[in-house]
Amino acid sequence: MVSGHALIRFENVGLRYGVGQEVLRDINFQLHPGSFHFLTGPSGAGKSTLLRLLFMSLRPTRGLVHLFGRNIAQNTTGQRADLRRRIGIVFQDFRLLDHLTTWENVALPLRVTGRKQSDYAEDVTELLKWVGLGDRMHAYPAILSGGEKQRAAIARAVIGKPELLLADEPTGNVDPQMARRLLRLFIELNRLGTSIIIATHDIQLLSQFPGARMQLENGRLELYE
């Protein structure tokens, strides 16, 4: 494909915090719709930072980032918000809303689009059952375990079938059996057309599900198809 068809394109991207050394430097890559990549690298390599650039919660210090064919530096705040609605994201710290139940947290991405609850209620319930939270649907985040919060965050990220899914260590708080189950969910979502980037340290997971890799080390990125 030509670069104009890329879902994501980075051109000479660098990022530093303050006046320190660049956390990411000379990042050049492009990913096409329907791709599936694992993002790997040692702790502190910048994996979470790269995901934040992709979610537009950070801006690069230099270089160009294109998402969905658009230069994000030229987007207004409203346009960036519109683009974010096309992205599902799983944060390491979950970011569930404490005043909403598990069910309400997962349904939130659909509710904010103005859809009627009757249109999606069954889908939310079925997904929560599938990730093992059928008996925790009406619980609030404060009483959920770390693994339960992780699964709720994943369910929230995928419920709207986003065009792009970004997941930061999505299996870090669950047992190996649930990790495999969740990865099957990601694979099925990818089969239906979602592009996926999973940042992970989980070597066992990588060995069980071989796929394209994005390797970050010393601020630089290498792609291995």
Could you tell me if residue 144 is left (phi over 0), alpha (psi between -120 and 50 degrees) or otherwise beta?
A: beta
Alpha carbon distance 177, 194 (integer Å): 23
For residue 206, which of 195, 194, 193, 215 has the smallest C-alpha distance? 215
188 in helix, strand or coil?
helix
Rounded to 10 degrees, the C-alpha dihedral 174/159/139/99 comes to 120
What is the pLDDT, as a whole number, of residue 3? 41
pLDDT in tens, the chain (225 residues): 334 479 999 999 999 988 888 999 999 999 999 999 999 998 888 999 999 999 999 999 999 999 999 999 998 989 998 999 999 999 989 999 999 999 999 999 999 989 999 999 999 999 999 999 999 999 999 999 999 999 999 999 999 999 999 999 998 888 888 888 888 899 999 999 999 999 998 877 787 776 799 999 989 999 987
Helices (H) and strands (E) in the chain, counts: 7, 10
The number of residues in the chain equals: 225
Residue 213 pLDDT: 93
Query: Residue 2's pLDDT is what?
Result: 37
The model carries a pTM of 0.91
Q: What pLDDT score was predicted for residue 172?
A: 85
Residue type, 113: T
Domain boundaries, the chain: 3-224
CATH architecture of the domain formed by 3-224: 3-Layer(aba) Sandwich (3.40)
Cα distance between residue 55 and residue 52, in whole Å: 5
User: Tokens for 52?
Assistant: 């934040």
